[in-house]
Amino acid sequence: MSGIQLHPHDILDEGMPQIMSYIRKLKDVRYIFPEVNTIFERNPNPVGNLPRNAVHEVVFGTGTMHAILPSYQGLDQRREPGLSDEQDPLMIIKESLQEEHYEIIPWLNILNGHFEGPLLAHNLVTDLDGQVIPHWLCPNAPDVIDFWEQALIDLRKRYGYTTYMIDRIRYPDWGGEEVNPRGLLTCFCPHCERKMKEQHIDVSALKNNLRQWITLFAEKKFDDAVTFAENNALIQEWIAFRQQSVTGFVERLIERVRTVNEDFTLWLDLWPPAYSWMLGQDYASITKCSPALKHFPYHKLGGGADVQGLIHYLAHTADEQEQAFQAFKRFFALPYDLTYEMFKQEGFPIQFVADQNNKVRSLSDPNTRIYSGIQMWNISPQNLIEAVQAGENSAADELLYYCYGWAADELFEALQTYREKGMN
């Protein structure tokens, strides 16, 4: 049975009766994933209006917590202004679906958001020049796990849920409000540097090697840059260190909350495996912690990565952009014979969906259920059905539609027709 993601503004602005009338059109939805704390994102992303929202045409997420929780000393997340007992989206959805067979799995963004408090500066991701990356918490920083342990326990107390989808369990990517690949060259906070030294990683040599790597990009030697990183033992150790840091954080978080209540279960939201390894996500180790995961193999959008943003940041002439794109495909093992021009028109081929799902299956723990994220906005009905079929014909177990509030009516209708008649 598939799932669908909701944002807090969907619940407050549209109300559950309207939302459910659309979700029922999809026929096979069992799991509803209401987002509890937002990220800095335009809804819908990157352009357009919310198709059914009578209150807001567009909503800008500001990284706030939309659940009623105690305030925490030290490190906390900013509460959404206007949150109250009457305007409490997670309680509204819980109460409205009490008699229904749907399962609600609250969705949490863990390491990225509007965090605050006197200990914030002590917990931020830091680049190799010592600059902090705003709004990103380090998985090795001490107060982050304390905050999330307490927040999960308090969420259960108020709302009763013990299963959560955890997202943004990674280091920053290069995208966001502005393209910045330096977010990838992290983390050099005091906690990470100490931990690397304990593992006998030479931190200053690593920084020098990362700077040499940057120089190759600046000189537009993109293919050489790929070879350099692949053959550089320190860069490879650093990539593995980031993966251990994220997996270790999730393992410790699960262990801590299970000490309080053994029913706590965390599902994982990961990047597709083409990119995940570079962001600190190692499918093989992290899936041992979890019964289910979701990833988003959007083929049209390059697998959810801002590929064009990165290429345009790195290269300016058409010739350089083509070279950068070919190197990008090599670095991320994307075996598709297409030019940058073709990619800009069409994205990756539909085969990307099945390829990434099959890769997730082979890398993940055999007991982990795999949800293939289905892009449900900014796409034609025909492309949507193709993506659904590609997901169904792959090694993924289920589909997860992203997301309710951005999806045009015609896409719900196309899926309804497909489910009822087996055709579009």
Residues making contact with Zn ion (CB under 5 A): 138, 140, 187, 189, 192
Q: How far is the CB of 243 from Zn ion (least distance, A)?
A: 14
Q: How far is the CB of 127 from Zn ion (least distance, A)?
A: 10
Question: What is the distance between the alpha carbons of residues 202 and 111, in angstroms, rounded to a whole number?
Answer: 26
Q: How far is the CB of 281 from Zn ion (least distance, A)?
A: 16
Q: How far is the CB of 63 from Zn ion (least distance, A)?
A: 19
Q: How far is the CB of 245 from Zn ion (least distance, A)?
A: 7
* Residue 174 or 325 having the CB closest to Zn ion: 174
* Residue 68 or 246 having the CB closest to Zn ion: 246
Question: CA separation (Å) from 112 to 39, 125, 139, 263?
Answer: 7, 10, 11, 26
* Residue 20 or 240 having the CB closest to Zn ion: 240
Q: How far is the CB of 141 from Zn ion (least distance, A)?
A: 6
Q: How far is the CB of 147 from Zn ion (least distance, A)?
A: 15
Question: What is the distance between the alpha carbons of residues 92 and 251, in angstroms, rounded to a whole number?
Answer: 31
* Residue 133 or 399 having the CB closest to Zn ion: 133
* Residue 155 or 187 having the CB closest to Zn ion: 187
* Residue 191 or 359 having the CB closest to Zn ion: 191
Q: How far is the CB of 190 from Zn ion (least distance, A)?
A: 8
Q: Give the type of residue at 360.
A: V
* Residue 44 or 172 having the CB closest to Zn ion: 172
Question: What is the distance between the alpha carbons of residues 297 and 189, in angstroms, rounded to a whole number?
Answer: 31
Token digits for 94?
Answer: 């819980």
Q: How far is the CB of 140 from Zn ion (least distance, A)?
A: 5
* Residue 107 or 136 having the CB closest to Zn ion: 136
* Residue 186 or 378 having the CB closest to Zn ion: 186
